[in-house]
Structures are given as structure tokens and as C-alpha cells.
Amino acid sequence: MNHGLETKLLRHEEEEVEGSLIEKVWTESKKIWRVALPGVISRVCAFGTIVVTQSFIGHISDIDLAGYALVQTLSVRFVNGILLGMSSATETLCGQAFGAGQHHMMGIYLQRSWIVDLFTLTILLPLFVFGTQVYRFLGEDESIAVSGGYISLWFIPFVYNFVFSLTIQMFLQAQLKNMVIAWLSLFQFAIHIPLSWLLVYKLGLGVPGAMIALSVSNWFCVIGEFIYIFGGWCPHSWKGFTVAAFKDLVPVVKLSVSSGVMVCLELWYNSVLVLLAGYMANAEVAISAFSICLNVNAWEFMISLGFLGAACVRVANELGRGNAKAAKFAIKVLLGTSIAIGTFFFVLCLVFGRRIAYLFTADERVADTVSELSILLSFSVLLNSIYPVLSGVAVGAGLQGIVAVINLVCYYLIGIPTGALLGYMTDLQVKGIWIGMIGGIVAQTLALMYLTWRTDWDDQVKKSLERLNRFYVKTADDITEETSN
């Protein structure tokens, strides 16, 4: 079986890890950054288009800014959380298949994920079609609900790119080919800003212009990914469309659901807190300020997601190869690198706290509220450097179900009740909500650290091999070999 140039390079590197600790760390860091850097670039650019769109809309109308923030933070994050989580099943299976040399299975896993995600998103579409009614039901201010309902309709073509962009990225990074996504994402971000300026200001299209630019730039990236895969740049992992993609969907759906619950509970967490902010006095200012801080936090979180992807790929690849020791060492290097980066952004947010708000709005009330939240934003950014890596480790090992329970308890039984109590029963208001949020994240981080420490990685190697054998589809070469024997 052809394991490909990338696999040979990695195994050659593994033969040289008998040197000093510094040499081992350097070797592992190269493997990590080979996955993490393109992942960071692509996620920062992709989320950057959302933030840039928010900035354009914020300079059109404060009501539309609040409406956009409501849709993006509640509906889009809700759907993105489900699809990102379900797509992480692709990351687990493709990563372990690549490590085991079962390259042809990766294309089948990708097609199965398209089927499952496309069906799931279509079921969730009423959230956008009936956006105004949903926000009214949730008790949001009437003007914000109407604006949010209008903007949510423009988000429909945008959210369908998630079905392909999320899964393709995980498919490519599992085989160390995601640099192409980084280049496409850079170009996507580069065209998004002038395209938004052209449609919003030069053509005077306002909010519709900003939303059209968002959809066009994101679908540009997806089309580029299709060309790369179908054009023959993945000869070993993409063998064309096959009816085998419709087989064994039930176990894939089970893994996808547990993955979806794990991630979406995490992403919905911030959404619920924004919802709580909407019930406070002067809701427009509260939602706008809170969403600006959360978007800055989420933008930095895209860097953490790059390390989440690297953690998943490194752990999955090593488990697929049967090397538990290398998986544990990769976890240590990943955490050290991510925490160092998180500390840098922690300091940055402390220094530039108030100035951040003026990138999104000229409203002094919103800027004052953002300034008050800057310290909490800094601590959130620091925590971003720890728990995503540990979540990625869990995804790589296929432990999504356990992490889903941890997220449910820490976020929804600890974080949200604490935030609601401090926000409504004290004078802390929005700050109280965020303190509760941080409390939930701290509890989750400690639980994930304990889970990682207590995991028997040799046992995870056995489980990964059992999972791959269960899903394996024979190739023509396999059948020929069996016949000859």
C-alpha cells in the first residue's frame, strides 16, 4: 500500500527522536506547526470576514449592529457549533486512517460527512427563515428582533458553505495538505474587504451589500478547495464519488452526534450569555459591547482552533500508527506552545482594551462598556490557549462523548447559573455574566486536564485500530490479493 511522501517523512523523523529533549521538542514542533499554522491562518481569515462584515454593518446602523450580533452569536454560532462538532468525526476518522495507511478510506469518510452535515443543516434552516419570530420568542427587543430576522435571511447562503469548508479542511489537514486552504483563505480575506467597500459604499447597498460580500468571499474558498481535491492533488485519498459513502452511516452518525454535542455545547455557551445580556437594561449597548468582546475573543480563538486541529491530527495519526508514547509527547509540546502564544495575547488585550471597540463602533457608551470588560477578555484569551488543545486531544482519540458530558456540567450547571446570578442579583451586570462564563471554562479546563492525565493511551491505540477495521472498505487491490491467495 502506498503511504505517500508525507507519511515517509514523518516516519523518518520518528527514527531520529533518540537525541536530546531539545531535539525531540524541535522535531515535534515542526510536525505541529505543519498542521497548526495553515489551520490558524485559514480560521483567522474565515472568521475575519465575519468580523469585517460586522464592522461595516456597525458603521451603517447601531440597530443593525445589534441585529447582526444577535444572528451571528446565536443562530450562526448555534449551527456552526453543530456542524463543526459533527465534522470533527471526520477529523478523528481521517486522522487515524492516515496514520494507519488506509488513505482511500479518507475520501469515503469525507463524502459521508457531506451527506450527514447537509441533511442536518437543512433541518436547522427554519432558524434563519423564521429569525424574527425566534428572537421575539426569546424576548429580545422588537427593533433588534426585526433587524436580526432580516439579516438572518441573508445568512442562509453563507451557512451552507460550512457543510463543505469545515469537512474539507479536516480531510486535508489529516493528510498534511492544508497549506492550500491557508492560501485560499488569505486570498478570500484580501478580496472580502474591497468587495464589502464596493457593495456597501460605492454601490450603496448597505446591509445587503455587506452580506453578499460575506457569502461570495466564503464560497470562493470552498470552490477553490473543490478544484484542489477533484483536480488530482489528492490521488491517494480521493478516488471519486462512490456509493460506499452511503454505507455504515449509522455508526458515523453516532460519532458525529457525540462530536456535535461536544463542540456545540461549547460554542452555544457564549450564545446563551449574549441572550442573557439582551434581557438587561439598555440591551442594545449590552449586546453590542458583549458581542464585540466575544468576537475579539473568538477571533483569537481561531488560533486556538488551529492548535485544536493540530492536537487532533497528531494524536489521531500516532494512535493510528500504534504509537502511544509519541501521542503523549505531542500533547505536552502542544500545550506548552499554545500557552506561550496565549500569554502574548493576554498582555495585548490588557494594553489595547478600550481601543478595540472603535474598530466596530463610534458609540461612546459601547466603547466604555468594552473597556470595562477588557480585563475579563484578557483572561478569556489566556484560557483559550489551554482547553481547545485538550479538546483536540479528545477528538483525536475519539473521546467526544466524555467531553460532551464535561461541557454540559461545567458550562450549563456551573457557568451559566453563576453568570445569571452575578449579572442579575448584583451590580456587575454584563461583567457578572462574563465572570460566570470564565468560571465554567476554568472548571472545564481542570476536568479535561484530569481526563487527559488519566487516559490509558495504550488502550486508545487498540480502540482506534478496532474502529478503523470496523469501517474499512476493501479496495480493488485488496480483493485481487485475496483472490490470488
pLDDT of amino acid 54? 87
Question: Which grid coordinates are listed for 485?
Answer: 491467495
Within 10 angstroms of residue 22's Cβ, the number of other Cβ atoms is 8
pLDDT of amino acid 472? 67
Phi, psi of 105 (to 5 degrees): -70, -20
pLDDT of amino acid 362? 72
Res. 168 pLDDT band, cuts 50 70 90: very high
What DSSP line would sit under 330-370, residue for residue?
Answer: HHHHHHHHHHHHHHHHHHHHHHTTGGGGGGT---HHHHHHH
Model pLDDT for residues 223-237, shown as the tens digit of each residue: 999 999 999 899 989
Enclosing H/E stretch for 409: none
pLDDT of amino acid 17? 43
Measured between alpha carbons, how far is residue 97 from residues 78, 93, 101, 248 in Å? Answer: 29, 6, 6, 16
pLDDT of amino acid 482? 53
Q: How far apart are CA 177 and CA 102, in angstroms?
A: 16
Q: How far apart are CA 154 and CA 5, in angstroms?
A: 43
Query: What pTM, to 2 d.p., does this model score?
Result: 0.74
Q: How far apart are CA 185 and CA 166, in angstroms?
A: 13
Model pLDDT for residues 400-432, shown as the tens digit of each residue: 778 888 888 998 899 889 988 988 888 887 788
Handedness of CA 324, 326, 332, 334 (dihedral sign): negative
pLDDT of amino acid 280? 64
Q: What is the largest CA-CA distance in the chain?
A: 78
Candidates 331, 340, 330, 278; CA nearest to 303 is 340
Q: How far apart are CA 144 and CA 3, in angstroms?
A: 54
Cα three-residue angle 85-91-95, rounded to 5 degrees: 160
In the predicted model, what is the mean pLDDT of the chain?
Answer: 83
Measured between alpha carbons, how far is residue 8 from residues 4, 314, 319, 326 in Å? Answer: 7, 15, 17, 16
Q: Which residue has the cell 460532551?
A: 404
Percent of the chain with pLDDT over 70: 87
Res. 6 pLDDT band, cuts 50 70 90: very low
Give the contacts of 58 (CB within 8 A, at least 6 positions apart).
64, 65, 68, 288, 360, 361
Res. 257 pLDDT band, cuts 50 70 90: confident
Res. 443 pLDDT band, cuts 50 70 90: very high
Would you mind telling me the total number of residues written for the chain in this entry?
A: 485
Question: Which grid coordinates are listed for 470?
Answer: 470496523
Q: How far apart are CA 265 and CA 267, in angstroms?
A: 6
Model pLDDT for residues 180-189, shown as the tens digit of each residue: 989 999 999 9
Model pLDDT for residues 449-465, shown as the tens digit of each residue: 998 888 888 888 887 77
Question: Which grid coordinates are listed for 59?
Answer: 458603521
pLDDT of amino acid 478? 54
Res. 79 pLDDT band, cuts 50 70 90: confident
Res. 151 pLDDT band, cuts 50 70 90: very high
Percent of the chain with pLDDT over 90: 26
Candidates 391, 411, 417, 413; CA nearest to 402 is 391
Q: What 3-state DSSP class applies to 322?
A: coil
Residues 74, 76, 82, 88, Cα dihedral to 10°: -130
Model pLDDT for residues 334-390, shown as the tens digit of each residue: 999 999 999 998 988 888 766 777 777 777 887 887 888 888 888 988 998 898 899
Res. 19 pLDDT band, cuts 50 70 90: low
